[in-house]
């Protein structure tokens, strides 16, 4: 990460710099209980630890377990956590509270409710977030999440404006040229040939139960977003799953969309991440392992816990692309929706990647080497016999 003291800008676009170098901040998860947890509750809590599902899936969460019955002076309860518990106004235990990363300085919690396996699974990952991460890993500049208002007329009009202007930005805008010095300094792992300017959209219903945690993360990313319940919103998500900010209602227009796109593709100012707008989402992705030069990633992410996978997401939120939208997506169109995993899998199965063909190539090389060796030995023997 660049130091805040650096005043100049590097040539790496913000979206790519964020993908390669901005580590996700951890969400603070508090679990309040009294006395010993049951066996099932212990297993559920364990999923939030580094040794459990959260650690294995590389989810950016951090657990604090608070026993409200504890009176051991050697283990005093955290004062901040106790104030948080008093604000819950509930007697239900065990109780889980999810807060934004502490560095974000968000006073309100993301979500609070009963501790359960289902709620933990939905916190750690969801089909929509999985689709967003897949697109970002494949090199898309940003995925614009369109959060429906519930008013069909408003939603259709706003989505049309968003998609048409993203398509226009994709055609007209140009990525900055990357300075060789920035590559040599390790600020980016690829040159401009490995970058692409591509935006897509993902439509999301506020009523989708499986995306409830995700919706709450979006609505709490700015202090006043919940005041606009009747308005459609769109959130550009880039890097390793970072929400930049929201465009709301009439704010979803050509000027604001273009400005946002320009900010995403402009040269990075090399300031620390926290001085840039936005907030991280909870994602279950090993970003350091999967972010690669030229970002041509076709490997599948691990199975999504607690769900049947991306392709059986709610029809109200994730729609399979029709023939036209599939043709558009191949040309870089932004008219894309979640649920395109099936098409990508089919396309991938029709052509083997270099990594998949390497054993066959290796065998051919070995066989050729052996053949050449045999020919040389026979030739030497023939010449020896002839000379004798």
What confidence tens digit (pLDDT) does each residue in 18-74 have? Answer: 998 899 999 999 999 999 999 999 999 999 999 999 999 999 999 999 999 876 555
Residues 83 and 90: beta-carbon distance below 8 Å:
no
Least confident piece of the model among 140-144, 195-199, 334-338, 354-358: 334-338
> What are 165-186's pLDDT values in tens digits?
999 999 999 886 655 554 555 4
Predicted model pTM: 0.73
> What are 142-155's pLDDT values in tens digits?
999 999 999 999 99
Topology of 27-124 in CATH?
Answer: Glutaredoxin (3.40.30)
Task: Give the mean model confidence (pLDDT) for residues 315-319.
Answer: 41
Q: Where are the domains of the chain?
A: 27-124, 127-348
Q: What is the largest CA-CA distance in the chain?
A: 104
Convert 133-150 into a string of H (helix), E (strand) and C (coil).
HHHHHCCCCEEEEEECCC
Q: What is the predicted pLDDT for the residue at 296?
A: 43
Quote the tokens at residue 228.
């606009």
∠ CA 289-58-357, rounded to 5°: 35
Q: What is the predicted pLDDT for the residue at 379?
A: 60
Quote the tokens at residue 147.
């959060």
HSE, CB side, 13 Å, CA atoms: give it for residue 375.
Answer: 6
Q: What is the predicted pLDDT for the residue at 117?
A: 97
Residues 179 and 91: beta-carbon distance below 8 Å:
no
């Amino acid at each position: 990460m660049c130091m805040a003291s650096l005043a100049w800008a590097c040539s790496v676009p913000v979206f790519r710099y964020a993908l390669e170098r901005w580590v996700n901040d951890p969400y603070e998860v508090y679990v309040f209980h009294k006395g010993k947890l049951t066996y099932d509750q212990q297993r559920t809590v364990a999923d939030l630890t580094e040794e459990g599902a959260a650690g294995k899936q590389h989810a950016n969460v951090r657990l604090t377990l608070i026993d409200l019955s504890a009176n051991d002076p050697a283990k005093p309860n955290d004062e901040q956590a106790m104030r948080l518990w008093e604000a819950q106004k509930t007697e239900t235990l065990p109780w889980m509270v999810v807060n934004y990363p502490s560095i974000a300085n968000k006073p309100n919690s993301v979500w609070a409710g009963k501790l359960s396996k289902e709620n933990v699974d939905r916190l750690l990952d969801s089909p929509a977030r999985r689709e967003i991460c897949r697109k970002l890993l494949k090199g898309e500049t940003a995925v614009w999440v369109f959060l429906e208002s519930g008013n069909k007329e408003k939603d259709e009009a706003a989505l049309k404006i968003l998609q048409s202007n993203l398509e226009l930005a994709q055609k007209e805008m140009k990525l900055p040229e990357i300075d060789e010095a920035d590559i040599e300094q390790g600020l980016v792992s690829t040159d401009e040939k490995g970058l692409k300017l591509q935006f897509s959209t993902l439509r999301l219903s506020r009523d989708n139960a499986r995306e409830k945690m995700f919706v709450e993360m979006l609505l709490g990313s700015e202090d006043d977003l919940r005041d606009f319940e009747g308005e459609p919103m769109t959130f550009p998500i880039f890097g390793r799953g970072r929400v930049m900010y929201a465009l709301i209602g009439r704010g979803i227009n050509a000027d604001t969309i273009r400005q946002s796109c320009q900010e995403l593709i402009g040269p990075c100012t090399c300031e620390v991440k926290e001085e840039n707008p936005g907030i991280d989402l909870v994602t279950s992705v090993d970003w350091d392992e999967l972010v690669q030069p030229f970002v041509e990633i076709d490997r599948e992410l691990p199975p999504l816990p607690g769900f049947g996978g991306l392709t059986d997401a709610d029809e109200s939120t994730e729609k399979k692309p029709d023939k036209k939208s599939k043709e558009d997506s191949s040309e870089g169109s932004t008219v894309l929706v979640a649920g395109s995993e099936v098409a990508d899998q089919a396309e991938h199965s029709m052509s083997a990647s270099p990594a998949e063909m390497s054993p066959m190539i290796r065998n051919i090389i070995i066989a050729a080497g052996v053949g050449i060796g045999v020919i040389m030995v026979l030739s030497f023997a023939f010449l020896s016999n002839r000379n004798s």
